[in-house]
Amino acid sequence: MSGTFTKSMARNIFYGGSAFFVLLFLALSFDTTQALPKRDNRDAITPQVALGKKVWEENNCIGCHTLLGEGAYFAPELGNVYTRRGPDFIKTWLKIQPTGTPGRRQMPQFNLNDEELDAIVAFLKYSSEINAAKWPPNIEG
């Protein structure tokens, strides 16, 4: 092999590398399209879950919290809060805000009625049952 790097060698490396990564991208895309439907739990979406999602969006909960890694990092991850704390804790927590504890971030009072509280709990329950490939890695979010 010669000690020089020719244009044809560079072209072959470029085309070979490009072809390799295009094939890798296609293989990973195919794998994803095969795996995601098996992780879907759309059957669990009820009108109450849909209302909970609406309450979540109207109150901009994602502006402070993350849900399955998406959102702001100001407040705790809520993807597994239902399994960590349970429905009664979630309802009580939302009712008593802000706590006024010195040195802690405060959540605003949203004045949710009982139907909205039940709906947000149903939405968080639904979110906790999504197969998120063991996300979040920390049990406390």
Q: Can you read off the two tokens belonging to residue 2?
A: 């010669």
Same-domain pairing of 34 and 56? no
Q: Give me the domain span that covers residue 19.
A: 1-39
Structural domain count, the chain: 2
Same-domain pairing of 32 and 52? no
Same-domain pairing of 55 and 114? yes
Does the predicted model carry a pTM greater than 0.85?
no
CATH number at residue 122: 1.10.760.10
Same-domain pairing of 15 and 77? no
pLDDT digits (tens, 9 = 90+) for 101-121: 898 889 999 999 999 999 999
What does R_g of the chain's alpha carbons equal in angstroms?
23
pLDDT digits (tens, 9 = 90+) for 9-25: 999 999 999 999 999 99
